[in-house]
Amino acid sequence: MPELPVSSEMVEFAVNVARATINDKLEWEVTADEDVVFASLGGPYTAKLERVSRRDDNEDYYPDYELALIKGRDELFRLDGEMLSGTSFAESVGSDQYSHPILRNMWTRAILKAKKVTEDLIEVNRLLLTKLGPATAIEDDDEVPF
């Protein structure tokens, strides 16, 4: 698929998906490909987040992330960290980071959501707390920031 120029609407889409993912508002789900997750956006639209492998200048592989919008079976466009780096993406998401770490965080959030790890951990921790008793409960302040 030829690469489209990044429009302000595409950046807005990426910002909205990032915000919805970080705020746990999107139902990401696993696919047959371990490096791809989907989230239905309603109507014929589906968001696709993909982990891809790239090579750096030293020929070492590193993971990168791509966000695509699918309508029906057609991929409308695809954005990666480099394409978003020259835009207001990071600033609009409310981060002083570059776009790549935001996409990496999105991937982590999405994969945890898709595999229902967070839900299970909440349940397991609740069960552990009932065994340990309320005195050992960890304060919210101690929560590791994501």
Partner 1 sequence: MGDWLAGNWGSVASVVGLLLSGWAAIAATFARRAADEAKKAVEIRSLSSALKNCGDDVSSLELYFDNKSWKPAEAVISRTLRELSYITSRWKDHLDSNGAANSSLASAQLDTLQNELRKFRSRAPKESELRGIYKVVSRVTALLATELGKSEAKIEVVTVARKTGGKHA
Q: Which residues bind partner 1 (CB under 8 A)?
A: 29-34, 36, 38, 40-46, 48, 70-73
Query: Which bin fits 45, alpha (ψ -120 to 50), beta or left (φ > 0)?
Result: beta
Q: How far is the CB of 24 from partner 1 (least distance, A)?
A: 19
Nearer to partner 1, 33 or 60 (CB): 33
Q: How far is the CB of 116 from partner 1 (least distance, A)?
A: 12
Nearest CA to 1 out of 52, 70, 49, 55 is that of: 70
Q: Which amino acid is at 66?
A: E
Q: How far is the CB of 30 from partner 1 (least distance, A)?
A: 7
The helix/strand/coil state of 32 is coil
Cβ atoms of 89 and 11 closer than 8 Å: yes
Nearer to partner 1, 6 or 36 (CB): 36
Please state, in angstroms and rounded to a whole number, the distance separating the CA atoms of residues 124 and 47.
30
Nearer to partner 1, 69 or 84 (CB): 69
Q: How far is the CB of 42 from partner 1 (least distance, A)?
A: 5
